[in-house]
Structure 1
Amino acid sequence: MTSTEIPGTHTPDLLRLATAGSVDDGKSTLVGRLLYDTKSVLADTLDAVHRASVDKGLTTPDLSLLVDGLRSEREQGITIDVAYRYFATPRRSFVLADTPGHVQYTRNTVTGASTAQLAVLLVDARKGVLEQTRRHAAVLALLGVPRLVLAVNKIDLVGYDEGVFEAIATEFAAHATALGYPVGSVLSIPVSALVGDNVVDRSTNTAWYTGPTLLEHLETVPVEPDPHHVPFRFPVQHVIRTNTAEFTDYRGYAGQVAAGTVRVGDEVVALPAGVRTTVSRIDTPGGPLAEAEAGRSVTLVLADEIDISRGDLIAPAHDAPVAADEFGATLAWLSDKPLRPGSRVLVKHGARTVPAIVSELSARFDEQRLVSVPDPLSLELNEIGRVTVRTAEPLPVDDYAVNRRSGAFLVIDPADGSTLAAGLVGAGLPALRDQDSSTPEGDLVSPGP
């Protein structure tokens, strides 16, 4: 992959973004247009796309082929997997997840958007806001994606009509506001991915639009920083025991800093055991550090020899999460197998997986009407629900609204190991928070020992 980055310059930051939308809204073509117009495609890949386009009888390159790389995707004409693409401009680097539009693959949208700092949600200018548009917006809000771009695509097919664009933008803005998005966090842009209007270059066909092009917005939108300001969280992935000439009986705890910052000398607690100690070293392959921030993979050496194993969590002694064996949560159900109260599952939180029971299903969120339906009998594929989870062992969880890294978990089928749901500790969406009157915000209802 080539880049438009100027040699010798430094790309200031990284933006992680995802696309979402309904089938045939043009997501893959839009991503292909971004890659094509920023010259982020290898020459041989571009030649292959030109040849494939000629074989299809097209006079212009089919840019969606730059993204829909699987043979089954090309044959069906739809995106079925999450396609990750990387590109850069002189101003910023990008990691883009192109997610499926078909309702059957909403689970992949959850995967692609789970780490996104911004999402581009496409609608067809001829169709406007659809059921799947509202569903995707609810998923993005639930996952805490802080910024949205509504790309009103195929604006050329409605004669670049300003009235059509404004009606769609107004309707979606009201929906996003109801989902909890503040004013200024959602931008609507009229685009034509096929022609190139307002994707990278400003279009003369939309003189009435005075906002930025899509790429201009992506290059300049403030990037939400990694969660350094939240309390330190460190899930232990591996325990290192070794003897070297420099260290006798070395014991270190390897993993990635999930949130916050850790410094040498900090007093910490190992959960769920609850034993306190201090950090004596922060080791990396490049040498020791005085401190490490979120996203950094390190090995922590502690002052005392205590019982810590894979799956434990190291946190500040003064600001540790609650170790709970029962907590309220929001689930985005991703399985064809419905969820019913009393279902036995596995919960994977950080590096730990424990048996659990979904003891209560208290509400289902209707993402179309933005209301909460109490006491549903089940939770079906792609539905969002409010549950109570009881685990066999206490888990050190945070409310997702406070700490995304330690407030998220997966629900797994114990029979075959398949993923059943993406889970978030707490209420997640405003309508579900309004529904929950039995417990305080955060919902850690039964602390473990």
Structure 2
Amino acid sequence: MVSPLSSWAAQNPGEAAHEDHAWIDEIEQVFLPSDHCKQCHDRHYEEWKGMREQTPDLKTFGRVDGALLHGTALTSPVFKTVLGLWLQTNPTSEEQTRCLACHAPAVTAFPQHTGNLIAQVMSEQPKQRGRRAKEQRRLEGISCSSCHMIDSVKENPTDYPAFKINTGKVLFGPYDNAEDNLVHPSKQADVYQGAQFCASCHFSKVKDVTQAELPGQILQGTICQDCHMERSTGSSTSKRGSLTRPIGRHWFQGIVIPGIMLSNRNLQAEWFPRVDIEVQKGNEAIEGKVLVRNGSLPHMFPGGDPVLKQFFVTVTVKNAEGHVLGTQQERFGLPFDKILRGPIPNPLVNGGTTRRVPFSIVVNPGQAPSYVEASLSYALIPEPDSDLLDRYLATLGSDREKDKAKEIITNYAAERLLTFRTKSF
């Protein structure tokens, strides 16, 4: 069987080889490299790239690959590993383009270069040094231009990703009084002041990705940017004397470690999911429902990814001494071979809603069940089966790459406890 990682050239005739930069030149004629923007917007550039002060969770845990820095969306070793595993399930060219669309929005305008971009991701990241730096040039993922060429979102709330890119010369933003300049024309787009801008990729966070408002009375008037783009006062450019006004940070604060959530009681009360138990004790079985509840904030903890996350509802019946008499677990989430095949399922439980998960656990005669324990846990990616893992590892060229991939899979596919509840009979 020919691996997808070794057959792109055959599957994509007419595409330039990965080492040929003609395809990058073609894309960058439309999507300007971010270092062009740095000349004027140095503050936002350094925040996007992670060069300035970082959020405490990044400093403490080093989780730069945790989707907080959008500049790492294409270069993250986690993305490379997940993409490599998924490619072994033989996705179509259309599915591959759709997968890359949020990590590299330019591919929506240049779908013919999907294979080249995948080859770039799957190759080892070169070190940009000396005269060879130009030869090792790589296409950016979520660049300045790929976000600021968005002028609206699609009308169909199930069409993901939902952003619409205007490939003209205008760069869009939230302000209606942009200063004239000789670099690029600027224009206001209402979408930058609405939740639908972020939800066009992070679509598991809201009930309707076409709406600017977040649902619920508590959050009325609040949008994603209020929390995730810390506000400060200054200028969007480094030009002396330019307009000073409220501006948003471009490092996109978030929470990727559960322990940080536990230290903030306000966030914990509104955001952290919780479980309740409805249970009946029969002659032969313990039956009931686990009620998984989420607060009024718009999204499910943890993480911003709307496709890969796995949730586990586990119910255990125990006796008075704590011995397990029976257990049942239900997983919510797609395996690798189902991802982007058909409709994307709804989250386990969205903001302000309750999900009821039924259970029935048979108890042997003579046992004395005393209480039921229900837990909610999660994993950030599906756990690949051994055959899928072996096929992916076989595509990697060095033991160092293989060890890194196995470490990432072990870490990100691990089941982690979110919350639990017990109820006595």
Q: Which protein is richer in strand relative to its size?
A: 1
Q: Which has the higher contact order (CA 8 A, sep 6+)?
A: 2
TM-score, length-normalised on structure 1? 0.27
